[in-house]
Amino acid sequence: MTQWILPIALIVVSLITGIVCEKFLFKNFKKIIFQKNIPGSRIIFQALHHVTFIWFILAGLSSALVAAPNINPELKLLLQRIITITFLLSATLVASRLTAGFVNLFTRKTEGVSASLISNLAKTAVLILGTLIILQTLGVEITPIVTTLGIGGIAVGLALQDTLANLFSGFYLIISKQVRTGDYVKLDAGHEGYVTDINWRNTTIKELSNNVVIVPNSKLASAIFINYHLPAKEITLTMNVGVSYDSDLEQVEKVTVEVAKEVMREIAPELMENQPYIRFHTFGDFSIDFTLYMRVSEYFDQRMGKHLFVKKLHKRYQELGISIPFPIRDVYVQNNSN
């Protein structure tokens, strides 16, 4: 019985050490690292969550097997394989978490790159690689498995044509950069909004009404759409205005441009080097018409730009006596009664 004291002690020590490290040391060390805001630290700690405890247990069991007295060699080999497989499974899990986490970190720093499709693919690749390593450790010949998967992949590909079409269309959209996360797009079907994600099957578009439109990648890749963030987010806001025929057009131009500059200083001060301007173009039935051209930061800013411009311009025109005419019709009624 005394021969089992050391193996049991090793298991108990590894258990206690794992609990102490997981509950106290690991948690306190994580707080310190998070406070320093070291890039990637959160990803590392999330990947190692609860896994370090398993590793301490496995280390204790492995040491106990070495220190244990006479054990059946077959049983000892079986236990060693179980420990090895468990370690490889946990290491594969950690590697997949780290891969997905750092891919997400990279895609967040890279403007317009979708996170979910690339991170899920990277995570899947690590899991497949880890599974093959585990099978090879168990003595399973993986070459026939890979060959079988290749042949079976053809049959699966034929059965999943739509799914694969969406997958490759998603890659095409990301690589070609025709659509990026954060872009404002308008589809030929009339739906419009911000692209929030491109995954292995669908592209998610969030409308301004806060509804979500789900578009299959293959449909989006072949659709006609407008991307209001390409080639740049900045766009030109246009407003059609008309003034009465008795207006001083020089004054109208000066006042209108001043008002447009005020609006730009509020919503797009970084674009002030692009001065707003107007162009007169039509002698209308009731007014002389012109169009204002003013730069705004992105498509959505048009709403606020138009809102402020109409309010400010109407007030300034009233102060200066510049009238914006509206259609007036004189109706004559003929009395044919005798």
Closest alpha carbon to 216 in 208, 206, 204, 225: 204
> 110 pLDDT exceeds 60?
no
Q: How many CB atoms lie within 10 A of CB 195?
A: 24
Closest alpha carbon to 274 in 284, 260, 286: 260
> 44 pLDDT exceeds 80?
no
Fold (CATH) for 166-227: SH3 type barrels. (2.30.30)
Q: Which comes out higher in pLDDT, residue 178 or 268?
A: 268
State whether CATH 3.20.20.105 applies to domain 235-320. no
Q: Which comes out higher in pLDDT, residue 236 or 40?
A: 236
**How far apart are the C-alpha atoms of 290 and 192, rounded to whole Å?**
29
- Averaged confidence pLDDT in the chain: 80
- Looking at residues 8-28, what average pLDDT do you find? 77
**How far apart are the C-alpha atoms of 208 and 203, rounded to whole Å?**
16
Decide: pTM greater than 0.85.
no
> 263 pLDDT exceeds 90?
yes
> 246 pLDDT exceeds 70?
yes
> 112 pLDDT exceeds 60?
no
What is the pLDDT, as a whole number, of residue 48? 76
Long-range (24+ apart) CB contacts under 8 A made by 302-305 are: 302/235, 302/237, 304/267, 305/237, 305/263, 305/267, 305/268
Pair of tokens at residue 327? 């259609």
What is the pLDDT, as a whole number, of residue 159? 46
Q: Which comes out higher in pLDDT, residue 189 or 45?
A: 189
Closest alpha carbon to 203 in 226, 175, 173, 233: 173
Encode pLDDT of 282-337 as tens digits: 998 889 999 999 999 888 888 899 999 999 999 999 999 999 887 666 566 666 65
**How far apart are the C-alpha atoms of 325 and 286, rounded to whole Å?**
6
Q: How many CB atoms lie within 10 A of CB 89?
A: 14
What is the pLDDT, as a whole number, of residue 76? 77
> 114 pLDDT exceeds 60?
no
Closest alpha carbon to 20 in 12, 8, 9: 12
Are the C-beta atoms of 213 and 225 separated by less than 8 Å? no
Domain ranges for the chain: 2-139, 166-227, 235-320
Are the C-beta atoms of 226 and 185 separated by less than 8 Å? yes
Q: Which comes out higher in pLDDT, residue 140 or 21?
A: 21
> 158 pLDDT exceeds 60?
no
Could you tell me the CA-to-CA distances from 121 to 170, 171, 216, 255, 292 in Å, in that order?
Answer: 12, 11, 18, 57, 48
Closest alpha carbon to 278 in 240, 317, 329, 333: 240
Angle between helices 161-176 and 115-137 (to 10 degrees): 120
160: pLDDT confidence band, cut at 50, 70 and 90? low
**How far apart are the C-alpha atoms of 337 and 160, rounded to whole Å?**
81
What is the pLDDT, as a whole number, of residue 335? 67
> 270 pLDDT exceeds 50?
yes
Encode pLDDT of 87-104 as tens digits: 888 888 888 878 877 777
**DSSP one-letter string for 88-108:** HHHHHHHHHHHHHHHHHHHHH
Percent of the chain past pLDDT 70, that is, above it, reads 77
240: pLDDT confidence band, cut at 50, 70 and 90? very high
176: pLDDT confidence band, cut at 50, 70 and 90? confident
Q: In what order do the strands lie in the sheet with 192-198?
A: 212-216, 202-206, 192-198, 184-187, 225-227
Are the C-beta atoms of 228 and 180 separated by less than 8 Å? no
